[in-house]
Amino acid sequence: MAPKQSIRKEEWGRRLHDVQVTKNDLNRLIMDYLVIEGYKSAAEEFSQEANLAPPVDFESIESRMVIREALQRGDIEDAITRVNDLNPEILDTNPALYFHLQQQKLIEYIRHGRITEALQFAQSELAPRGEESPEFLSELERTMALLAFDCSPSAPAGISELLSPAQRMKTAGEVNAAILESLSQGKEVKLVGLLKLLSWGEQMLEEKAEFPRIGQM
């Protein structure tokens, strides 16, 4: 096996410096972050300062954030209504997303002790969908297990986590991604994708050469 090439810190720094990144490219990365993360006011101000047109309408940013806030406080019906007002095709064409919203609604019934409503809702809305998909049926059974454990903290992790704030955030993230996709906007912040690519590139290069990583510069 050939020995690894060694790249000195000074040489590596010079190579990095030679990579040209335009200010416009950086501005677009910043705008992409502000839009996807939902910072409407900051995006509006940055658009004016950088003289950069946003990739989506600013009002759509606010709509997404209102929907996300509704989901994070457990108001699933309000979120569904707002998604349909924004674009009814989002849920019509995404059965998995609609099921997860209905599943979250069932979780909220159970969380608040509305057991009769939970059972009726599960039977009328979720059971038919569970018959259509093994994945949906498995998720429904996991959700209904909350009743068996009476929402106890001692319930298995795979069940008790349904009542955690992370579960609401997961559902909100799915909805946010679907709305962005409907607007032909990327679902992931490009900066995150670039960091993943950087990490992968460093791992590949490390197999052939010794070099100072970005954090060591």
Q: pLDDT tens-digit profile of 12-28?
A: 667 667 777 788 888 88
pLDDT tens digits along 120-151: 999 999 999 988 899 999 999 999 999 888 76
User: Is there a contact between 91 and 80 (Cβ–Cβ < 8 Å)?
Assistant: yes
d(CA 165, CA 75): 13
As a whole number of angstroms, the distance between CA 39 and CA 3 comes to: 49
Q: Which amino acid is at 31?
A: M
Name the nearest CA neighbour of 24 among 54, 51, 56, 58.
Answer: 51
Q: At what angle do helices 165-182 and 95-111 cross, to 10 degrees?
A: 150
**pTM of the full predicted structure?**
0.75
What percent of the chain is modeled with pLDDT above 70? 84
Q: How far is CA 37 from CA 58, 61, 177, in A?
A: 12, 9, 11
Determine the pLDDT at residue 165: 94
Tabulate helix, strand, coil % of the chain (nearest 5).
75, 0, 25
- Res 98 pLDDT > 90: yes
pLDDT tens string 46-95: 999 999 887 778 888 899 999 999 999 999 999 999 999 999 999 999 99
pLDDT at site 215: 53
